Structure 1
Amino acid sequence: MNTKNLVKRMAGAVVGTLLFAVVTQIEISSPVANTYLQPRMGILAVVSAVGGPLIGAICGFVGHLLGDYWFQQREVWLSWALAEALVGVGIGFFRQKFDVLGKGFHTRQGLLFEAVQVGANALAWLAVAPLLDMVLYGQRAEKVFLQGAEAFLLNAVITGVLGLLLLAAFSQCYLRLRRFRG
């Protein structure tokens, strides 16, 4: 990768991470305690699909930590930050296949994105986050697996809908701008 592309991707990571953290303020409560529908997952999807696994991991982990610190009474949950980093890595691994900045994000890429994001969210929220909650914080299994199941459902839905729409829009805007510039 040349230096110019690396600088662009890192700048995108910083902007995406800060946007992800700020959007933490927007949340819709769910019936399960401390679990919310959060549009920031759509931002994580775009940053990861465009930037790749490392950028996705940075956005998910650092963005979650900053969001928790700034907007959640300075209470930081490493287990959930690591789970969001894992979602970013999972989506980011398919960056080349999504081809958001190449030929465009079309139906085939959208279907692949949906399968990948559901798999990444399932691993992160049904396994990693609950297990880390038990190991790091001594939380009860029934509590954390219920929260994990709810987080999986909410994150898979918001990532699947908002992430897909944002990726399609971003790809179209990028391709038009590229054509306009010549």
Structure 2
Amino acid sequence: MMKHNVIASHKVIGTIISIIVFIILFKYLAVQIGDTKDNATLAPAWLSLVTAIFGPVSGAVTAFIGHATSDMLTNSATSTVWWTWTIADSLFGLFIGLITRRLAIFIGKLTTRKLVLFNIWQLVANVVAWLIIAPLGDHWVYNLSLLESMKEGGLIVVVNFLAIAIVGTILFKIYQHYAVD
């Protein structure tokens, strides 16, 4: 019983810290992509590590609270949250967590095969979140053009995929080297 409480408290504390880091990366260490309102950020790479360590629920919570809080900070005058993208980000965190759990990323050796499979599946998760869920939500909830929302989502797929494939893979290797075993 005591071991379960310690593990649960580590997940809660880890998730709270993860949310704070996510907000910093998502809001304050972001680079605007061209003339769009979207940003390139390392938050998805961080999210992939969080989900690999703490699981899919932690990933979903981190992305949901982190994205919503970042939106509120960005639109502080109106406290507007772009809910369709917040929900898509949360589901993306859940999907990534399920992938890392299924691949047992940090159980045993972190192999090239695990990393390649992870990156294939994270691309699929990006496509589902940003080319299906977010654009459909934008169209149905905000009555926005589906084509424009899909263009925006496609850009995010590319940026998130590259951030996770490059920086997320590096974070996995660093974590594996220093924290696992």
Is the shorter-chain TM-score for this pair beyond 0.5, marking a shared fold? yes
Among 11, 14, 18, which residue is 1:12 paired with? Answer: 14
- Aligned residue runs from structure 1 range 1-182, under 5 A: 2-24=4-26, 25-31=28-34, 33-73=36-76, 74-175=79-180
Contact 1:32–1:150, Cα closer than 8 Å, also in 2: no
Query: Quick one: percent identity of the two aligned structures?
Result: 23
Partner SS state of residue 80, structure 2: coil
Contact 1:53 1:91 in 2 (8 A): yes
- Provide the rounded CA distance (Å) in 2 between the counterparts of 1:48 and 1:141: 30
Unaligned runs of 5+ in 1: none
State the secondary structure of the residue aligned to 1:94.
helix
Note the C-alpha offset of 1:19: 0.6
Following TM superposition, by how much is the alpha carbon of 1:67 offset from its aligned partner in structure 2, in angstroms?
1.4
Task: Figure out how many residues of one structure are paired with residues of the other and give that number.
Answer: 176
* Deviation sequence 1:31-55 (CA, Å, 0-9, x none): 3521221111111111112111111
TM-aligned CA distance change 1:82 to 1:154, over 3 Å: same
The answer to whether the 8 A contact 1:20-1:63 is kept is yes
* Aligned-residue offset at 1:56: 0.8
Q: Offset of 1:13 from its aligned partner?
A: 0.9
TM-score by length of 2: 0.89
CA deviation after TM superposition for structure 1 residue 100, in Å: 4.4
Gaps of 5+ in 2: none
Q: Could you tell me how far 1:72 is from its partner in structure 2?
A: 4.6
Aligned-CA RMSD value:
1.8
- For residues 168 and 59 of structure 1, do their structure 2 counterparts lie closer, same or farther at Cα, with a shift above 3 Å needed? same
* Cα distance in 1 for residues equivalent to 2:53 and 2:75: 28
The secondary structure found in structure 1 opposite 2:61 is helix
What does the per-residue CA deviation read over 1:94-130, in whole Å, with 9 as the maximum and x for residues that have no partner?
3334434432423122112101211111100000001
2:143 is matched by which residue type in structure 1?
G
Residue type of the partner of 2:85? W
- Residue identity in the other structure for 1:76: V
Letter in 1 for 2:71: D
Amino acid at match of 2:166: V
